[in-house]
Amino acid sequence: MIKKAIGVFDSGLGGLTILKALRRALPHENLIYFGDSANVPYGSKSKQAVTRFSLDIVRFLESQGVKMIVVACNTASALALPTLRKQCRVPIIGVIEPGARKAVASTQNGRIAVLGTEGTVKSNAYAAAILKCNPRIHIKQQACPLFVPLVEENWTKKPAALLIAQDYLASVRKHRADTVILGCTHYPVLKKMIARVLGPEVTLVDSAQVVAQAVQNFLQKNHLQETAGKGKLTVYASDDPARFKRLAACLLADKITTVHLKKLNA
């Protein structure tokens, strides 16, 4: 019997942090990753645009016969999830709810900060998800639009990256949050630097593990989990697959053999 794959997508490379956690938690599953390198970044674009890009990808993943889809992008989860769920036949899991739940479980002082793209912050999706778990949490949201280009350009270890982080995180320190959500799948790549700026007393919530856990729970509950054989990974990018492969190698421990080109709307 042919294994049905799990579809995973992001605007670019960031979702690979989720993919990595999925491969570790679910080694028998076939995975299809789609990086929308033709339209990256999503963070500063409108709800309409992000929804349009996401719908195109979801339709492509459905055409590949996936059994479920993981929106490994906070901006797309924040802006497009309801529309995607309405227009799609397979179950879809986003990254916002699992991350919000973990942060609420972690905070001791009831003060949580959310780092995200402009789109994610403006959507208030994290704030809504956090307040649904516990309406007494004090929330500070901070947009960090330059973090995505820093990651996409592999500039995360340069002094300028630290300076940019210090600028963005000043408001988070002022808020005295003891728990900070890395609300963009690109940000875990900057985790060490963010931890250095915020100090050891702050817990950073990286949604990769919790999302992998949520996917595992869903598969088990619905008897869809594979239990044998090594899972296969297939990677698509909507533009310049060679560049995508080269940069992905910096983010994933596993080497990607091939990145296929799949143009959307072309």
CB of 237 to a copy of itself, least distance (A): 10
The DSSP call for residue 238 is S
CB of 234 to a copy of itself, least distance (A): 20
Closer by beta carbon to a copy of itself, 40 or else 130:
40
Catalytic residue check, 144: no
Contact status: 249 vs a copy of itself (CB under 8 A):
no
Closer by beta carbon to a copy of itself, 97 or else 152:
152
**CA angle 152–25–222, rounded 5-degree value:** 115
* Contact partners, residue 185, CB within 8 Å, separation at least 6: 10, 14, 15, 16, 17, 18, 72, 73, 74, 95, 207, 208
Catalytic residue check, 73: yes
Binding to a copy of itself in span 165-224, by CB under 8 A:
167
> Coil, helix or strand for 113?
strand
Given 152, 169, 207, 210, the residue binding a copy of itself (CB under 8 A): 152
Binding mask 130-149 for a copy of itself (x = CB under 8 A): ---------------xx--x
Closer by beta carbon to a copy of itself, 159 or else 200:
159
Gap between the Cα atoms of 240 and 263, Å rounded: 10
* Contact partners, residue 262, CB within 8 Å, separation at least 6: 34, 60, 236, 237, 238
Pairing state between β 92-93 and 6-10 = unpaired
Q: In what order do the strands lie in the sheet with 259-261?
A: 92-93, 68-71, 6-10, 31-35, 233-237, 259-261
Given 153, 170, 176, 196, the residue binding a copy of itself (CB under 8 A): 153
For a copy of itself, the binding residues (CB under 8 A) are: 37-39, 44-46, 48-49, 52, 145-146, 149-150, 152-153, 155, 158-160, 163-164, 167, 239-240, 243, 263, 265-266
Give catalytic residue positions.
Answer: 73, 184
